[in-house]
Structure 1
């Protein structure tokens, strides 16, 4: 049949409204049907992942129960009460066995998970690793220490999901470099922890494994994207976790959960074997780092990681071992500080934490110097926002094909889907600047050793993190600058803080300022932290400063 003949046959049909209506209805029904079939396939993949998690946790529970039955005299409560440094010493001297420690933490992690939903997989090879550790001739720095691992860091035989259906079923054939190094130092990676979908959010929710709660207050998020780590460690189910940080993803869970966390300089720790749904990050440097209950644990972890094994496995990592002399120094410091950045007004407790810590440092003999970060608005709008999505967020959006967007990510995701033309117009409006050089020049001019500043907090109520990405200006600044930055809890939210929050207006009195007030309210008794910063490659100095703050703030935490 020729095209003309076909048209003659169809032409009368187009004129019939009933036929047109049927065609349109049929097309719409087909679209709806295809969408439903697509959603059903997605749901099936999610259900399979949840079943796999449940089976893994059942296996973990059986192993922990078996050990408990066979070793009824194990002092679990005592083991769980020890700091990581104390535990490492007892394991090394042989007064505690690696088995008693591993299975005690397995049992506690299961207990915490039932309460807050933070564990997404049991690393079943941990029992084999336990036997290998016992047979090692030389005991590594982390001999027998159980370690929790963030979801997207590869572990052999397990999936790194990033909270996306796209990555489900992709079982990794080998460990990431950081997991290999941990094992070489005698550590025992034993669980993987939950994250927000895509990890570009500081909540901790995805449609595969659900919402993780803050163990200190279930109405609050534990933060993100290393939120599962924060929740598990704060709940007592782990004492050392490995997270990652692109805009504050180690520091925000540490702040929200009352923990210590370190974001190192980019490339000081290997990132080989870590997946990401984002490509083309230009001016923003993401990195891996530790989360723990105290600063000494962070220092021990860094000392263990910065070893010949890491430098051998990843020659792109500069072979700079940990400088113990810098960490243990007692030389007075010249400390720059700021109470707010001029972009997002801090909550009352954030500001008070810096003020009180500054006073304690001054009384301890350190020199305190006011410091104002230059051009924060340009840093956030130009260098951070454009730098993290230098491909126009195309790869991130593409990762959602065959997936469903988590409700907590929708407001952000809608921005990422803006047409390329709109993004280009925005890019013209936002003028690039040479920022890092300007910042360091100001630092040098004031002869600073380190900087004390706020970190976002206290913990947010559920649903707000995805609507307040700009509030990460206090943390994402140091991803753009690529400076090491750590978080130390120093106080708790008081009733006076909560009362003052009622009068919070923000810098611009816009919807985002109003949201911050709503996000942090109802936090009396929750931890408040500060941020400690050093120049690139000076992790040891950053940790030394964090240790000083930790020691000085002990009285403040008790009296809060």
Structure 2
């Protein structure tokens, strides 16, 4: 029976006797559709207006905080000579002078506040100042012995680490004007140890990018080149430290988020084992995902500063405040050991091919370690190319990013997030189709894109978990078969990338994400800079063939990269952070030899 005949039959019944004729509905249809479209457009326009109003108010609040700090600096004049002297000191020297009373905490704070404001004007790395820092500095200066190990040391803090009274947004409108109720545990410990949290630093929207950009705070650029990214997601931290606007800070890391910006900006960072530092108050957009978990990671201008910050955090105060933390205090004997180590190395993980400068950096670190007396041997991790898509991207996108998408429903989508947002927004059949089309052009990109179709059942989620568990066993067997104490390898396939490419090169994080999956301790230390010869080699197709789409992006971005820092990653077994720091220190020492 046709639709029209069915309609006519229904009209004849008593029930639908008063229903308008089909002709009437057909005439009314354009009006109904027009009204619906108009209502949708009005609703969308109102949402956009409300969003822009909210952002405008938030930015006014941030600017008011900046102006208040400028006023404080104006009322507390510090001579340029004193300021430059303070900024020239290493964290160890600064620590000694503050402990002895040769410098006041207020002078040190003002020196770093003024420097941070200067570099922020160029790079937009600071989200907002922590105005309570002045009160903490005054408290330090009024304190008599004993003083905490970080007495008077200013510390910058990534925006997604909770501070009482401040928004913790992850770059998303959803969390604007929702100040948190208390400090994260790591902040509580820092304050107890005498440190002064003084600046909050920028992040990418949702924290799911190696770029550093969001609609609330804007784009952060590189300390040495404004056309490049400082990395992410702790990009603001990396930029501020790299430009000398902070001496040490805290970031977070779930797939290289302290190590990648540390490489790009030429500073040091440590990704501890989950459970070594408290995660309480570490904001994440997908807290229910527990297969690969993020950690708070210390960052500093040099290894010595990184050691001081880490040692102060791994203290009884941490264990007392969070009983979930493994109560292992900083083991100085492990860090100061002089026993020769057996260290493995590799230069490529089978995903994005590293550029010549990255390969050279690993060999530079290898030579430096050999000078110190360590034995460095070739190491080939098992099935390494498969880890990133199947064991990292799969759990991260297991819910098709629904936990993120719910919070992004009315938000502007930052350009750096476009690829991930698209993979989570379009139908799964289309994701699969695109993945198949990408396969011959870029297998890594294709496999990673496909994993954003989500995990289809609890059983499939369990299979991902089992795959990770089995891989951890297999990797450890390879490690022990060679009797290794540590491994050195790339942090990222290339130095700092151009701003337009940063959000597209997520797969470059495979070098770091491996050790988040494994839960190993890992650090990043700069060892060299890009030379003109490095750039020329990237341009040579015989040296760097760039056979995939992502490698072509890397190749294009290598133009003009002379002088940019290049780091290596130092890795040890879980809960061996002190040994990671020792290897980093020995690399630094070997470079000076």
1:6, CA displacement in angstroms? 4.8
569, 576, 583: which one aligns with 1:545 = 583
1:527 aligns with 2:565: yes
What is the CA distance between 1:455 and its match in structure 2?
1.2
2:126 to 119, 122, 144: 119
Instruction: Tell me the secondary structure at the aligned position of residue 454 of structure 2.
Output: helix
Q: Separation in 2 of the partners of 1:519 and 1:236?
A: 25
- What residue in structure 1 maps to residue 24 of structure 2? 13
2:110 corresponding residue in structure 1 = 103
Matched, 1:512 2:520: no
Per the alignment, residue 512 of structure 2 pairs with 475
Q: How does 1:142-153 map to 2 (within 5 A)?
A: 142-153=150-161
5+ residue gaps, structure 2:
1-13, 430-452
Of 236-245 and 43-52, more deviation after overlay is shown by 43-52
1:131 positional shift? 2.6
Within the candidate set 221, 234, 240, 2:229 is matched to 221
- Find the aligned partners of 2:17 and 2:91 in 1 and give their Cα distance: 83
Alignment equivalent of 1:94, drawn from 89, 96, 101: 101
Residue 29 (str. 1) matches residue 41 (str. 2): no
Instruction: Select 1:444's aligned residue among 480, 484, 487.
Output: 480
Q: Match of 1:249?
A: 257
- 1:119–1:192 Cα contact (<8 Å) kept: yes
- 1:173 maps to 181
Cα deviation for residue 409 of structure 1 reads: 0.4
What residue in structure 1 maps to residue 433 of structure 2?
none
Q: How much has 1:110 moved relative to structure 2?
A: 0.6
Q: Please point out which of 503, 509, 516 is paired with 2:540.
A: 503
2:50 to 20, 35, 41: 41
Question: How far apart are residue 329 of structure 1 and its match?
Answer: 1.7
SS of aligned partner of 1:62: helix
User: Tell me, which stretches of 5 or more residues in structure 1 are unaligned?
Assistant: 556-560
Change (3 A) 1:25 1:73: closer
Q: How many residues align?
A: 549
Residue 393 of structure 2 is matched in structure 1 by 385
What do the CA deviations read for 1:455-483 (whole angstroms, capped 9, x no partner)?
11300100212112111111100100111
Instruction: Name the SS of the counterpart of 1:361 in structure 2.
Output: helix
SS at match of 1:488: strand
Q: What are the Cα deviations for residues 33-67 of structure 1, in whole angstroms up to 9, with x where unaligned?
A: 21111111111111111111101111111111211
Please report how far the alpha carbon of residue 368 of structure 1 lies from its aligned counterpart in structure 2 after TM superposition.
Answer: 1.2
Partner of 1:415: 423
SS in 1 for 2:152: coil
In structure 2, the residue matched to 1:163 is 171
Q: CA deviation at 1:305?
A: 0.5
CA distance in 1, matches of 2:349, 2:196: 40
Cα deviation, 1:306-336, whole Å, max 9, x if unaligned, reads: 1111101100001100011111122211110
1:60 aligned onto 2:97: no
Q: Per-residue displacement from partner, 1:408-445 (whole Å, max 9, x unpaired)?
A: 10111111235468535796998935111111111111
TM-score where L is the length of structure 1:
0.94
Q: Structure 2: how far apart are the matches of 1:128 and 1:442?
A: 52
Partner of 1:319: 327
1:475-514 CA distance string (max 9 Å, x none): 1001001111111111100111101111358788121221
Partner Cα distance (1:517, 1:278) in 2: 33
User: C-alpha distance in 2, partners of 1:51/1:553?
Assistant: 47
Aligned to 1:304: 312
Secondary structure at 1:470 match in 2 = helix
DSSP-derived class of the 1:346 partner: coil
Residue 368 of structure 1 aligns to a residue in which SS? strand
Distance 1:97 1:423, change over 3 A: closer
Preserved contact between residue 106 and residue 138 of structure 2 (Cα < 8 Å)? no
**2:141 corresponding residue in structure 1:** 134
The answer to whether the Cα contact below 8 Å between 1:14 and 1:20 also exists between their aligned partners in 2 is yes
Deviation string, structure 1 residues 124-154 (Cα, Å, up to 9, x no partner) = 1112212332344421110000010000111
Q: Is 2:263–2:566's contact at 8 Å kept on the other side of the alignment?
A: yes
- Aligned pairs for 1:453-492 within 5 A: 453-456=489-492, 457-492=494-529
State the Cα distance separating 1:26 from its structure 2 match.
2.6
Preserved contact between residue 112 and residue 237 of structure 1 (Cα < 8 Å): yes
Q: Distance in 1 between matches of 2:427 and 2:26?
A: 37
Mapped pair 1:357 → 2:365: yes
Aligned residue number for residue 558 of structure 1? none
Provide closer, same or farther for how the CA distance between residues 509 and 81 of structure 1 changes in structure 2, counting only shifts above 3 A: same
- Distance in 2 between residues matched to 1:418 and 1:378, nearest whole Å: 25
Distance 1:74 1:130, change over 3 A: farther
SS of residue paired to 1:75: helix
Does the CA contact (< 8 Å) of 1:490 and 1:554 recur in 2?
no
C-alpha displacement of 1:72: 4.4
Instruction: For residues 77-122 of structure 1, give each alpha carbon's deviation from its aligned partner in whole angstroms, at most 9, with x where no partner exists.
Output: 0000101111000000111111110011111111111111011111
Task: Say which of 355, 376, 385 aligns to 1:347.
Answer: 355
Kept after mapping to 1: 8 A contact 2:342/2:375? yes
1:77 equivalent in structure 2: 84
User: Do the aligned partners of 1:120 and 1:193 also contact (CA within 8 Å) in 2?
Assistant: yes
Greater shift, 289-298 or 520-529, is seen at: 520-529
C-alpha contact (below 8 Å) 2:394/2:454 kept by paired residues: no
**8 Å CA contact retained: 2:104, 2:141:** no
SS in 1 for 2:325: coil
On the 8 A contact 1:491/1:553 being kept in 2, the answer is: no
